[in-house]
Amino acid sequence: MADLTRREFLQIAGGATAAVGMLGVRPEDVHAEASDASPIDYERARAVPTICFGCTTHCGVIGWVEDGRVRKIEGNPLDPNTRGAICSKANGMISYTYAPTRIVYPMRRVGKRGEGKWERIEWDEALDEIASRMKALRDGGTPERFVFHYGRDKTKGFTKRFTDAFGTPNRLNRRSICSSNRRAPLMSFYGREFEWESQDVENTQFILNFGSNVMEAHQGGLFMVKRIVDARVERGAKLVTFEVRPSATASVSDEFHLVKPGTDGAIALAMAHVIVREGLANEAFWKRWANHPLENIRKHLEPYTPAFAERESGVSAADIERLAVAFAKAAPRCCTLSNRGSAKHYNGVQADRAIRMLDVLVGNVGEPGGFCLSSPRMWKNRYGQEGLPVVDQPAPAPGPLEPWKPGTRMFASLPAAVQERVAAFPEDWQKRYFGELATPSEYPLSWHWYPMRVGQLVYPYIREGRQKVEVYMSYTLGAAYGYPEATVAREVLRDETLIPFHVAIDISYSEQAALADIILPDATSLERWDAHSTNSYDLVPYTGIRQPLVEPLGEARPVQILLRDLARRVGGGMEHHFDFDRVEDYYRAWYENLPVSWDELKRRGIWQEAGRKKDYGLHERELPATELQGSATDAETGIIYRDGAKKQAIGIRVDAKALRGFDTPTRKITIHEPLFPLAARHTGLPLDDVNAKALPEYQPISGHEDLADDEFILTTFKWNVHTQGRSTYWKHQAEIVHTNDIFLSPETGRRLGLETGDEVTVVVRRPRGRTYRSGEDEPVGTFRNRVRLLNGMHAKVAACSHHAGHWEHGPVAQARTEEDPTARAGMSAELRGGDPDVPERIWWAKSEGGTGGGVAINDALPINPTPLVGGQCWFDNVCTLRKA
């Protein structure tokens, strides 16, 4: 643990202010007064920099520790992305670390699975049992029957090291639930290295935002908020937002246009149409860097007129014309912004491709104020940014797993139809195919760039028998509550013939943990080490470390220690990859090449190379002679390959110069993507489906065209004070927002005879596209909830947040004042120190005359993966609403 007195910390922070120059943080700003009733004694308290785990943004923070307890979290001014800011959720880390529902002992179920009866067991007993079951799988030659399924993993490779060493490809995530539909278009355009972009919003003049709720959510939200505000206040930059409801972002935008859900693609294509028609495209940039002739695009865009887009989206043709021109005229100081709002639809992958094309058309890519790319990976950087240290996991790393190619034992274990499909795959895919859970053969673009997984199909696939499971381990995963049709997840998790043994690694008694056989208590983010890297909105890559502020409570252990100890028990050689005593030693080895000492990194929490040139125009950088040595250039395409074998492209010759270009096969921007029709042909998706198109296209969402009077599109959203399904038990967050009323426009309210506070019955039907169980008549589910009428809502949209309605996670999340049953089960007991607020002061409990804790809506939302990429179409749901 890095021990800093307040004075020492201020010295570092002050130094950083001077070094970075633009931070604008004064030492006296570094902390405000503690909000807690008893003031923190800053002379005595220790300040420890670490990385927040409150949400996916992962901000650099500083925790103040007094008498062995974390008292307060504030921003770390050394974080170049946040520049010292935090949001209200950061202090939630304290809430969950000391929550009364915190699990601090290994537990074993004593009743039936899911019955809620537990006994405390020793770590040795728990690990011995898990290891013996795992060892049997390995010894029996079926290691793939061990499935490791996680929600959020910031251990940087540690869990993969474990599953690789064990020999299972089934390390599954929930990327499809989250962001795969918006990552795939970006990786197609710019290459694997750029799964995320870094718009230079600080220096921009015009932001065209398609449904990113950047002001209260977005993976880089906090990083961008201040930069956007500064750009608008200081230079009059414009923020234009397309939304289906008055989100916080829409509300503060210069212009906010209501769109019919799932029509952003039509708007973006119409804007592209206007830009090309008006001669506003940057032809020189396009010719140099796009992989498809502008003439063809002009023809392709002809039908996408503003009038067409108006009919589809409801945004007026005049506004589309005007905004397209304004966007292009601001180039290169303009950029698009999008996130799940445009992407999590049946046509969302193509919508995001259309949006991304706008930047290429006006040539703002890599320009100051434009759509920039900054490689986030300090480790194994494939883009070859000069001077960046290679940071990588310590040797010996486990070797690669054998793909399930025709001729292998695993291939033979696949159902006949899958075998046929995989046998016809291009060689390149065969090399990356590892069975139906890890690499579902109907969704090859979920794993073409890197394994994004299709999490929502894991449980249906297990139920169908596509993969036999013996040991299932869930880690930071809330599928039993938060996946679509979470009922399916629960049915499978309850069924001991499908999942004979379930180990949950959790910090709280969640809905997922409640369905385990053994619960292992993880250390929280304030008690453990992790490595950190994200893309830099400062356009200078940086890295950071999460480090423990305090010892784990009770008998909680960091996941790295528990996996290490399992590896040692399973043995058979896997233990050699886990030859370290302390987690710190493992991460110290990661950072060996960093030109800063480990102690200094611990003192600062963040490292960024000083004086480094910003990552503008990476594609225009010349390849150094060292990289050109031994390379081979293709005479026709100009592509420069690493060597004569011509397998790995490293650059492209343009005007006789050897430039880096983009990290794509052509080293140009992939406007025309042959992968979409290729994947369609291999999976039987008809070529007229929007997802099969090589050029960005738009098709309306099937089932949205003719909505009846009582039918609505049910959309979900994130509150600024909540994170997914895991913050409703953080008491301060829950006190602010604890329900999830359904927002409707006042006009809709009048038509349905509803007023704010009335209850409605919501019935959600199956989707109509080419997706899981589409077209079935039986509704997916139904629920009752209260409504709230709100000006600015789209008249055909019902919007409901997905954070509420827990039935586990204790009294705060459940909004009840009775005694906590987990405390009875002896899971946590006295070690957490108790909490005078819980459960007595939960004033929003129904028993206290309050509204209660909201409704779990995901049970009623269909599993609906986008063809080929697999992203869940969260925002396509059609429901009927009736006054209850």
**Residues at the site binding ligand SF4, with contacts judged by CB under 6 A:** 52, 54-55, 57-59, 86-87, 89-90, 222
Min CB(343)–ligand MGD separation in Å? 8
Min CB(354)–Mo ion separation in Å? 22
Residues 697 and 272: beta-carbon distance below 8 Å:
no
Say whether residue 262 binds ligand MGD (CB under 6 A): yes
Give the number of other CB atoms < 10 A from CB of residue 882. 12
Strands 878-883 and 711-717: antiparallel
Task: Please identify which residue in 84, 403, 478, 700 interacts with ligand MGD, judged by CB under 6 A.
Answer: 478
Say whether residue 482 binds ligand MGD (CB under 6 A): yes
Give the number of other CB atoms < 10 A from CB of residue 457. 25
Residues 283 and 656: beta-carbon distance below 8 Å:
no
Classified as helix, coil or strand, 507 is coil
Which CB sits closer to ligand SF4, 223 or 844? 223
Min CB(510)–Mo ion separation in Å? 17
Which CB sits closer to ligand SF4, 87 or 281? 87
| DSSP calls for 459-492 | HHHHHHTSS--SEEEEES--HHHHSTTHHHHHHH
Classified as helix, coil or strand, 629 is coil
The option from ligand MGD, Mo ion, ligand SF4, none interacting with 90 (CB < 5 to 8 A, set by class) reads ligand SF4
Residue number, nearest CB to Mo ion: 178
Say whether residue 247 binds ligand MGD (CB under 6 A): yes
Residues 240 and 207: beta-carbon distance below 8 Å:
yes
Say whether residue 244 binds ligand MGD (CB under 6 A): yes
Give me the residue label for tokens 């910003």: 614
Note if the bond before 332 is cis, omega within 30 degrees: yes
Task: Please identify which residue in 206, 242, 429, 459 interacts with ligand MGD, judged by CB under 6 A.
Answer: 242
Provide the edge-to-edge strand list for the sheet that holds 632-633. Answer: 632-633, 639-641, 649-654, 657-659
Residues 422 and 404: beta-carbon distance below 8 Å:
yes
Say whether residue 191 binds ligand MGD (CB under 6 A): no
The option from ligand SF4, Mo ion, ligand MGD, none interacting with 262 (CB < 5 to 8 A, set by class) reads ligand MGD
The option from ligand SF4, Mo ion, ligand MGD, none interacting with 459 (CB < 5 to 8 A, set by class) reads none
Task: Please identify which residue in 237, 477, 754, 780 interacts with ligand MGD, judged by CB under 6 A.
Answer: 477
Phi, psi of 738 (to 5 degrees): -130, 0
Give the number of other CB atoms < 10 A from CB of residue 60. 28
Say whether residue 539 binds ligand MGD (CB under 6 A): no
Task: Please identify which residue in 189, 210, 256, 676 interacts with ligand MGD, judged by CB under 6 A.
Answer: 210
Q: Which of residues 487-506 bind ligand MGD (CB under 6 A)?
A: 505-506
Task: Please identify which residue in 189, 346, 411, 874 interacts with ligand MGD, judged by CB under 6 A.
Answer: 874
Say whether residue 723 binds ligand MGD (CB under 6 A): yes
Min CB(219)–Mo ion separation in Å? 7
Task: Please identify which residue in 189, 223, 475, 590 interacts with ligand MGD, judged by CB under 6 A.
Answer: 475
Min CB(449)–Mo ion separation in Å? 18
The option from ligand SF4, Mo ion, ligand MGD, none interacting with 512 (CB < 5 to 8 A, set by class) reads ligand MGD
Read off the tokens for 544: 């950071």
The option from ligand MGD, Mo ion, ligand SF4, none interacting with 718 (CB < 5 to 8 A, set by class) reads ligand MGD
Min CB(84)–ligand SF4 separation in Å? 11
Cα Dmax for the chain: 77
Give Cβ neighbours of residue 781 (< 8 Å, ≥ 6 apart): 485, 487, 763, 764, 859, 860, 861
Say whether residue 148 binds ligand MGD (CB under 6 A): no
What separation in angstroms does the CA of 662 have from each of 231, 463, 613, 724, 783?
28, 42, 18, 34, 48
Classify residue 391 by burial, with Cβ atoms within 10 Å: 0-12, 13-18, 19+.
buried
* Residue among 438, 873, 861 nearest 690 (CA): 873
Give the number of other CB atoms < 10 A from CB of residue 770. 17
In sequence order, the β-bridge partners of residue 503 are: 473, 518
Say whether residue 510 binds ligand MGD (CB under 6 A): yes
Task: Enumerate binding residues for Mo ion (CB under 5 A).
Answer: 178
Task: Please identify which residue in 31, 232, 245, 788 interacts with ligand MGD, judged by CB under 6 A.
Answer: 245
The option from ligand SF4, Mo ion, ligand MGD, none interacting with 54 (CB < 5 to 8 A, set by class) reads ligand SF4
Say whether residue 862 binds ligand MGD (CB under 6 A): no
Task: Please identify which residue in 72, 102, 149, 218 interacts with ligand MGD, judged by CB under 6 A.
Answer: 218
Provide the edge-to-edge strand list for the sheet that holds 69-75. Answer: 46-51, 60-66, 69-75
Say whether residue 858 binds ligand MGD (CB under 6 A): yes
Say whether residue 219 binds ligand MGD (CB under 6 A): yes
Distance CA 646, CA 640 (A): 8
Task: Please identify which residue in 109, 564, 682, 718 interacts with ligand MGD, judged by CB under 6 A.
Answer: 718
Task: Please identify which residue in 168, 179, 203, 771 interacts with ligand MGD, judged by CB under 6 A.
Answer: 179
Which CB sits closer to ligand MGD, 71 or 557? 557
Say whether residue 56 binds ligand MGD (CB under 6 A): yes
Q: What letter represents residue 116's amino acid?
A: G
Min CB(210)–ligand MGD separation in Å? 5
**In which element (H, E) is residue 403 found?**
none
The option from ligand SF4, ligand MGD, Mo ion, none interacting with 288 (CB < 5 to 8 A, set by class) reads none
Task: Please identify which residue in 715, 740, 771, 866 interacts with ligand MGD, judged by CB under 6 A.
Answer: 715
Which CB sits closer to Mo ion, 9 or 481? 481
Residues 879 and 744: beta-carbon distance below 8 Å:
no
Classified as helix, coil or strand, 393 is coil
Distance CA 531, CA 592 (A): 13
Say whether residue 174 binds ligand MGD (CB under 6 A): yes
Options 238-246, 284-292, 410-418, 420-428: segment touching ligand MGD (CB under 6 A): 238-246
Residues 507 and 520: beta-carbon distance below 8 Å:
no
Distance CA 445, CA 426 (A): 13
Q: Which residues of 676-711 are buried (b: 16+ CB within 10 A; e: fewer)?
A: bebbbebbebeeebbbbbbbbbbbbbbbbeeeeeeb
Distance CA 792, CA 528 (A): 44
Say whether residue 722 binds ligand MGD (CB under 6 A): yes
Min CB(251)–ligand MGD separation in Å? 11
Task: Please identify which residue in 46, 102, 621, 726 interacts with ligand MGD, judged by CB under 6 A.
Answer: 726
Residues 641 and 631: beta-carbon distance below 8 Å:
yes
Min CB(587)–ligand SF4 separation in Å? 19
Count of residues of this chain found to bind ligand MGD when the rule CB under 6 A is applied? 63
Phi, psi of 574 (to 5 degrees): -70, -25
The option from Mo ion, ligand SF4, ligand MGD, none interacting with 605 (CB < 5 to 8 A, set by class) reads none
Give me the residue label for tokens 């935008």: 253
Say whether residue 701 binds ligand MGD (CB under 6 A): no
Give Cβ neighbours of residue 369 (< 8 Å, ≥ 6 apart): 200, 203, 204, 205, 332, 333, 334, 335
Distance CA 507, CA 848 (A): 28
Task: Please identify which residue in 340, 603, 667, 672 interacts with ligand MGD, judged by CB under 6 A.
Answer: 340
Task: Please identify which residue in 212, 347, 745, 785 interacts with ligand MGD, judged by CB under 6 A.
Answer: 212
Give Cβ neighbours of residue 303 (< 8 Å, ≥ 6 apart): none
Task: Please identify which residue in 144, 522, 673, 820 interacts with ligand MGD, judged by CB under 6 A.
Answer: 522
- Which residues bind to ligand MGD, rule: CB under 6 A? 53, 55-57, 151-152, 174, 177-179, 210-213, 216-219, 221, 242-245, 247, 259, 261-262, 264, 339-342, 475-479, 482, 505-508, 510, 512, 522, 524-525, 715-718, 720, 722-726, 799, 802, 858, 861, 874-875
